[in-house]
């Protein structure tokens, strides 16, 4: 065989093998993930945990599950985790628990969550909301039909995805202008708030809090909503992005 042709085949084989390795290796492999679930039961925190945990483990993550906020005061745990996933709607957090959580993220742990489990927790705690980058305030009309528009088509979290439809709560949020918005939704003025017609609202964003990566999606009111493939895919990719927080 022509030596150049042979070299080409060898190089092509190396490139293909590398591609396969990259494709198979999840950013979650070997990552320590603290999964905290609880709060208002209408958001099905346990069901959502039970849905996501097997996927996290399939990606090679080591998952520590807790249904109590007191784990945030465990300095050893908070110092070692790469990522915190929290689904805890409303409820209250003690000063010590909040300090433990915020300090871990400021020091470089990532945090990821969705809907009210991250964006409507601990309504009295403004520093917590400063970390998340937004706070739920309303979902006019309850469960409504709406579209999610991909705003950032280059970001790895939303790349390749197209506009998709949800029939669920359309979150109206107070949002930190410093977040990087990846997807939005437009309110049609239905329900009980006609004056918000035409408002374009962030749905998915990423940001930093100190050294920590923060990922948020307002989608997925309950476990059933994860059945919308794009909503689930965005959450998976956002979790993978946040899990690499300490690699910076
Ligand atoms: Zn909800």
**Residue 157 in contact with residue 238, Cβ under 8 Å?**
yes
- pLDDT, tens digit, for every residue of 200-247? 999 999 999 999 999 999 999 999 999 999 999 999 999 999 999 999
Three-class SS state of 110 = strand
Q: Is the pLDDT reported for residue 2 higher than 70?
A: no
The mean pLDDT of the chain is 93
Tell how far the Cα of 118 is from the centroid of ligand 1, in angstroms.
Answer: 11
Q: What are phi and psi of 227, to 5 degrees?
A: -70, -15
Tell how far the Cα of 110 is from the centroid of ligand 1, in angstroms.
Answer: 23
pLDDT at 4: 58
Tell how far the Cα of 43 is from the centroid of ligand 1, in angstroms.
Answer: 6
Please give the domain boundaries of the chain with CATH numbers for all domains: 29-247 (3.40.50.880)
**Residue 9 in contact with residue 3, Cβ under 8 Å?**
no
Q: In whole angstroms, what is the distance from residue 201 CA to residue 205 CA?
A: 11
Q: Is the pLDDT reported for residue 175 higher than 70?
A: yes
Tell how far the Cα of 154 is from the centroid of ligand 1, in angstroms.
Answer: 29
pLDDT at 22: 46
Tell how far the Cα of 93 is from the centroid of ligand 1, in angstroms.
Answer: 20
**Residue 62 in contact with residue 33, Cβ under 8 Å?**
yes
Tell how far the Cα of 40 is from the centroid of ligand 1, in angstroms.
Answer: 10
Tell how far the Cα of 163 is from the centroid of ligand 1, in angstroms.
Answer: 21
Tell how far the Cα of 221 is from the centroid of ligand 1, in angstroms.
Answer: 4
């Amino acid at each position: 065989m022509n030596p150049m042709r042979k070299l080409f085949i060898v190089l092509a084989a190396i490139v293909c093998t590398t591609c396969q390795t990259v494709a198979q290796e999840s950013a979650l492999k070997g990552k320590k993930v603290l999964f905290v679930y609880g709060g208002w039961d209408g958001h099905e925190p346990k069901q959502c945990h039970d849905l996501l945990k097997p996927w996290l483990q399939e990606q090679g993550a080591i998952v520590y599950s807790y249904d109590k906020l007191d784990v945030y005061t465990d300095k050893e745990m908070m110092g070692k985790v790469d990522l915190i996933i929290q689904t805890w709607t409303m409820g209250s957090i003690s000063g010590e628990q909040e300090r433990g959580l915020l300090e871990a993220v400021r020091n470089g742990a990532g945090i990821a969550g969705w809907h009210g489990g991250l964006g409507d927790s601990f309504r009295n705690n403004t520093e917590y909301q400063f970390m998340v980058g937004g706070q739920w305030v309303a979902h006019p009309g309850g469960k409504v039909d709406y579209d999610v528009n991909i705003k950032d088509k280059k970001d790895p979290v939303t790349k390749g995805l197209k506009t998709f439809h949800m029939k669920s709560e359309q979150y109206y949020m107070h949002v930190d202008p410093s977040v990087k918005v990846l997807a939005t939704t437009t309110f049609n003025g239905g329900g009980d708030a006609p004056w918000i017609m035409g408002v374009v609202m962030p749905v998915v964003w990423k940001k930093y809090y100190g050294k920590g990566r923060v990922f948020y999606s307002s989608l997925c009111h309950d476990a059933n909503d994860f059945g919308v493939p794009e909503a689930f895919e965005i959450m998976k990719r956002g979790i993978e992005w946040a899990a690499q927080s300490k690699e910076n």
